[in-house]
Structure formats: structure tokens, C-alpha cells
Amino acid sequence: MTRLLVLGATGTIGRAVVDAALEAGHVVDCVLRPHHAQGGHGLPRGARLHFGTVAQALEAGGAEAVICCMASRTGAPADAWAVDHDATAAAVAAARAAGVSHFVLLSAICVQRPKLAFQRAKLAVEARLAQSGLRCSIVRPTAYFKSLSGQLERLRAGKPFLVFGDGRVTACKPVSDGDLARYMLGCLDTPARWNRVLPIGGPGPAITPLEQGAMLARALGVAPTFRHVPLRLMDGIVAGLSLAGRMSPRMAAKAELARIGRYYATESMLLLDPATGRYDAAATPETGTATLEDFYGRLARGEARVALGAHSVF
Ligand SMILES: NC(=O)c1ccc[n+]([C@@H]2O[C@H](COP(=O)([O-])OP(=O)(O)OC[C@H]3O[C@@H](n4cnc5c(N)ncnc54)[C@H](OP(=O)(O)O)[C@@H]3O)[C@@H](O)[C@H]2O)c1
């Protein structure tokens, strides 16, 4: 049994970490933002909630390890630097000062080829953690199930599944929230995952957007139909918004979101081979047993739900 502090516990992966940690018999503290103080956060009773600073929660709960799943909910540059970098770096410093023995950081596999503000913020905080002197595990997952489920209602409404280009431009190895949470927890007592950057995907072969569309259609019992969106269209939108963004901060934020969309339309969520500059599905490590196909089945039957929120572009 370990005393753990989970940051970002009200997010998708944070919740899964809290559930998996309680199930494994750990004592779980969480720091929540004040807007959760009135309840409605949905965390299990077993989790001990704190509403102050990370340092205060560490002192009160005596956590031996921190699992940080905090992330900007929008991915917009200022928010990403404030949360993914500044707040996370402050948590690393607080953990070090409190004598915590291990810090597990949720990062993202897309930082391998950084083109976006939030990726640079994450890379900078990864470096801060690696240099902190704390024992650490930097976990870089591939795509989450929720991020591959945004077209459920389109297909339910009889509309075609949207793919960029021929639908085979990218691929990923989707990982379930629970499998990722258990992998992150496993970092604590697996020396091979200490002081390492850990790219990680889910089980089975990598799948393309075309295969996702076919899978979702199968789960819903509808014929798969696709609309192919030219990448040039995306480029036009990015260019137009970037121009408008020079005059309006609101447009600049939209431009960054469009750049994020374009990034995921063209970059795979797989291990990047620096020698070839190509993504390598076979070399991408995997964990767990849950498959996207089963998840789509549960979504179709109403047994699972996805809350995309402001993060739906991820
Ligand atoms: N989606 C994907 O396919 C994918 C794949 C790989 C990696 N990732 C990475 O995974 C991360 C997202 O994980 P997720 O989907 O679990 O996140 P999420 O559901 O958006 O949750 C974000 C968490 O961070 C907290 N948070 C946000 N702003 C905060 C602030 N200013 N101070 C303190 N806490 C704050 C939120 O608390 P509140 O409830 O108070 O807002 C929430 O608990 C991102 O970094 C993304 O790059 C995503």
C-alpha cells in the first residue's frame, strides 16, 4: 500500500488513476480546484479531497508518490503554459520539497514531433522533472478512446464518417483509460520504468481513421460511409485563421485549435523513429487488454459514455 497524491483527478485519466489506485488498496489524496468544492466532481468516497495547494495536500496526507494528470482543458497556448508547464513544475517542486519518492507524469506521445504550444510546454516540464532529482516516470500515451469517439453521433444521425485524405494518413494504438491508469500506477514498483520516458499504446495492431470508421459503423450496425476531407482545406482554414489571429486574440486562439486539428490529421500517435523520421507501429510499446472495438460496442449499447468537453480536439 502506498500513499498517493493524484493531480488532475477530475479529468479522464486522473479519475481512472483514482479508481485503479483505490482498487489496488492505495491511500489516495487528490487536490481539486475550488470550483469542485460544492460537490458534483463524481470522485469515489474513498478518495481524500484537498482544496488548497499541492504542498498543503502533501503535508496533510503524507503522500509518498505523486501521479500528475493535470492538463490544460483547452490546449490554447497561454493555458497550456499555465497548466501543463507552470502548475506542473510547481507540483514537481512541491513534491521534491516534501520528500516524495516518485513522481509519475502524464505527458503525450505527440511531443516527439513538437509543433504546437502545448507540446513545447509539456517537453519543457518533462525536462524540469527529469532534472529535479526526483525518481520519475514520464508516460507518453498514444490516443485515448474518448478522442476516437467524437463521430458517434454523426454516424447515429446517418452522416458519413469524416477522414482526412484517404483515411490512412495516420495511425494510432488506442489505449483505454483503465489500462493507462494501471500502467501509470505500475510505474511505482517497476524499476524498468524509473527515470524513463515511456511511450505507450494499447493492445493490438495500429489502426487508421478508415479502420476506426468501419469499426464504429459495425458497432452501430450501419453501413460504413466516408467523407474524405482534403488536407488542403485544413491548410486553408489554418492559414485564414492565422491571418485573422494577427488582429484578434480570439481568432489567434481558434487558429491554434485549427493547427492542433491539422496536427492530428497528419501525424500518427506512434513511436517516431528519429533515424528515419517515420512512425513505427511495431516498435510502439503496448499495455492492457481493452480494445477500441469493444469500447465502441459498449458506446453503441449505451453502456459507456464519453465526455469530450473542451478537450475534444485531442
Ligand atoms: N486525448 C488523447 O487522446 C491524448 C493522448 C495522449 C496524451 N494526451 C494528454 O493527456 C492530457 C489530457 O488528459 P485528460 O484527457 O485526462 O485531461 P482532462 O480530462 O482534460 O482533465 C484535465 C485535468 O486537469 C485539471 N486542470 C485543468 N486546468 C487546471 C489548473 N489550472 N489547475 C489545476 N488543475 C487543472 C482538470 O481539473 P478541473 O476538473 O478542475 O478542470 C482535470 O482534472 C493532455 O495533456 C493530453 O495532451 C491526450
- Asked if residue 288 lies in contact with residue 203, where contact means CB atoms within 8 angstroms, the answer is yes
- Asked if residue 204 lies in contact with residue 173, where contact means CB atoms within 8 angstroms, the answer is yes
The pTM of this model reads 0.96
Phi, psi of 234 (to 5 degrees): -60, -45
Q: Which atom of ligand 1 is nearest to the CA of 8?
A: 43
Q: Give the model's confidence band at 236: pLDDT under 50 very low, under 70 low, under 90 confident, else very high.
A: very high
pLDDT digits (tens, 9 = 90+) for 181-224: 999 999 999 999 999 999 999 999 999 999 999 999 999 999 99
**CA 221 – ligand 1 centroid, Å:** 32
Residue 311's pLDDT is 45
At 162 the three-state DSSP class reads strand
User: At which residue does the C-alpha cell 516534501 appear?
Assistant: 98
Residues 211-242: b if buried by 16+ CB within 10 A, e if exposed: bbbbbbbebbeeebebeeeeeeebeebbeebb
Distance CA 167, CA 232 (A): 14
Question: Which residue has the CA at smallest separation from atom 28 of ligand 1?
Answer: 72
- Asked if residue 138 lies in contact with residue 196, where contact means CB atoms within 8 angstroms, the answer is yes
Q: Give the model's confidence band at 308: pLDDT under 50 very low, under 70 low, under 90 confident, else very high.
A: low
Residue 8 pLDDT exceeds 90: yes
Q: Output DSSP code: residue 161.
A: E
Q: Following DSSP, what letter does each residue of 82-145 receive, concatenated? A: IIIIIIHHHHHHHHHHTT-SEEEEE--GGGGS--SHHHHHHHHHHHHHHTSSS-EEEEEE--BT
Which residues are within 8 A (CB) of 303 and not within 5 positions of it... i.e. 6 or more apart? none
Which residues are within 8 A (CB) of 9 and not within 5 positions of it... i.e. 6 or more apart? 15, 17, 18, 30, 31, 32, 43, 47, 69
Distance CA 226, CA 240 (A): 26
Phi, psi of 156 (to 5 degrees): -60, -35
Phi, psi of 221 (to 5 degrees): 70, 30
Q: Give the model's confidence band at 309: pLDDT under 50 very low, under 70 low, under 90 confident, else very high.
A: low
**CA 154 – ligand 1 centroid, Å:** 25
First to last CA, the chain: 33
Residue to probe by mutation, ligand 1, list 50, 106, 142, 147, most atoms within 8 Å of CB: 106
Residues 37-70: b if buried by 16+ CB within 10 A, e if exposed: eeeebebeeebbbbeeebbebbeebebbbbbbbb
**Greatest mean pLDDT range, 24-28, 229-233, 247-251:** 24-28
Q: Give the model's confidence band at 251: pLDDT under 50 very low, under 70 low, under 90 confident, else very high.
A: very high
For ligand 1, is residue 314 a contact (CB within 6 Å)? Answer: yes
User: At which residue does the C-alpha cell 513505427 appear?
Assistant: 280
H or E stretch covering 66: strand 65-68
- Asked if residue 50 lies in contact with residue 56, where contact means CB atoms within 8 angstroms, the answer is yes
Q: Between the CA atoms of 62, 68, 73 and 79, what dihedral angle is there, to the nearest 10 degrees? A: 90
Residue 310 pLDDT exceeds 70: no
Find the DSSP H helices in the chain. 12-23, 54-61, 77-80, 88-97, 117-130, 152-156, 177-186, 209-220, 231-245, 249-266, 292-300
Residue to probe by mutation, ligand 1, list 79, 109, 311, most atoms within 8 Å of CB: 311
For ligand 1, is residue 202 a contact (CB within 6 Å)? Answer: no
pLDDT digits (tens, 9 = 90+) for 42-98: 999 999 999 999 999 999 999 999 999 999 998 888 999 999 999 999 999 999 999
Q: Give the model's confidence band at 115: pLDDT under 50 very low, under 70 low, under 90 confident, else very high.
A: very high
Distance CA 310, CA 7 (A): 19
Residue 122 pLDDT exceeds 60: yes
